[in-house]
Amino acid sequence: MSTFGSLIGAKAGCHIIKCPTGVYTFVGSVPKSLCEIRPATRADIMGGRAFHGYKGDMLCAHAMSFRSAYAALIFATNKGIEIADSHKITA
């Protein structure tokens, strides 16, 4: 099946994945409220992820990470953000 075919019926939006390091983080359409705003690194600037702050400094939004998918889900829910496929996450 093609990549496009596998996306039919899938819910787009913010998702929670497990990183190779063992922590869980948000991917997809991640709202600013689920991110930490930090000073941009050279890699952020060169990779196009940086933006100018109010004071002219370069900043980058990094998705927060959690020890469990459930903790990430609770954090997002408390911020009023709906997570795609959240019915698959259990405590």
What was the pLDDT predicted at 59? 95
What was the pLDDT predicted at 9? 47
Q: Which residues contact 66 (CB under 8 A, 6 or more apart)?
A: 23, 24, 25, 72, 75
Q: Decide the pairing of beta strands 65-66 and 24-28.
A: antiparallel
Distances (CA, A) of 1 to 7, 8, 57, 84, 85: 10, 11, 46, 22, 21
What was the pLDDT predicted at 91? 66
What was the pLDDT predicted at 7? 44
Q: Decide the pairing of beta strands 50-52 and 58-63.
A: antiparallel
- The stretches in the chain having pLDDT less than 50 are 1-10
What was the pLDDT predicted at 85? 79
